[in-house]
Structure 1
């Protein structure tokens, strides 16, 4: 199988680099300065067990690959707000032996949130969800670091909307030879909804920095309580905290191998890079959507969604608001 990583940032770069290290064939898809850096100098991947440069094929347009292969696997690893733009160039591409990518190839959504799988299924017949627990950072073109050890990440995979098949098992086997735990599950969205609830903290981290203070944790708990209520009203089951904790165990610990402190997650990185967009619409905004559909008030998530989007749009610096200021603003907006 050849893995085409659509979005070779923190998650995509870590998955692609680890797959390449275990001898799997990988193509990276990137854009802008990151594409140029990957093309000219390769993917620089730093992990607790060392630093390496992977000279992998890299494209910024599927036309550069020509006809796709029947054994290709498309791995979508962009932020959800970029999913449609990232997918549109790939669906109509011809595949060796006949048909198109949308008709024949597996598409794995290795992303936060729960919306991309549905977006993808409108275009692709064979969609797989992936719940991503992978602490990784991408701040500079051409460079990705992943601090997890002894495993780099945990990547639950399953068919969307549910089920499993031989393709999922083959992808899992390749990942498990590449420093990942990758359970094949029948209910992958149940795991992704649990991750969604955890990711409601992303906007708080992006705006204020690491979630370490009692005040910051209190704000997250308010957002999480709304999330729990919205999922319950919608009849959506998520993996519980105890089940998740028991499964993860000590499979991943963070090792600050470069001497630096752990920086923020995916939303924090978006603000840090000044991308102009952030995934809040598909994290806090997912809870807001479920709340509106099911008559559940979600004022804290509504406010966090708006504040995070304002930060991204205005390209305000990550971590530039105090938790006290954010809490006061949320309370004001929630009235």
Structure 2
């Protein structure tokens, strides 16, 4: 084990979309675990969009705002390299909010709201999936499609940000349930990847004929809209929703960095009109609190070959700031975007 490690700290609050320059790479000594603590070696980091709520200059909802100069928060998959806790042994692989650093000391007895680090079974699936398909994104997709969306066989479900970690899983769950999955993604490469994952139709929101593509993909409309985006994409989908359609809402990335009042124009009156005229059922939810049932079902579907996990990787902890920035500026990665910090043992 080296005497020093690298960590990523927040150097400046984001003004608009986060930039790599908002972060700083520091070299510090590798910490030592104390009583009932464990030392973790980070294998994979997740650059989740929701982390933005911690670093925006404008304080919004979500995770508590970070202090400048502190290690960037976020979930990671790590290997236990030393343990003074009876529940963990060297060689165990765990998932927890250990932040953007090569090594981390955690005290399982003083864990955060998500509980102590979750032990992973490498025989079940690649451990990286604990940050995607078998992690928070998988739980969110399950909650949105199964619980909130209540998707039934034969129904059409349209999914925004379908090329992302949540959307790519959600579309596959729709297919497992016997529904028709229509994905909205940015760029021809992402749309092609969704068709390979089993989506029935796609629409490229970056294309000049997006509206026509969406209309062609939804000739009979849709019963469910899983909304990850808001903004122009949602406004384009609304006319295609059937009466009594359900709209699970788990994200609004089009409005990240925007306070209570956006730059305009005010489209809320038209939105309200659609809600009333079509008797839409809209519900926001936080899928990461959905419990283990969804992950167990997804694991079973993966074992049966009904769901594939889509992952993309960048290499080295130094790549984390740029990878996080790319989540908001557009990239070609499909599925969960991860930073591979170290090789698995």
Fold-level similarity (TM above 0.5): no
User: As a proportion of its length, which structure holds more helix?
Assistant: 1
Which TM-score applies when normalising by structure 2?
A: 0.31
Larger relative contact order (Cα-Cα within 8 Å, sequence gap ≥ 6): 2
User: As a proportion of its length, which structure holds more strand?
Assistant: 2
Which TM-score applies when normalising by structure 1?
A: 0.32
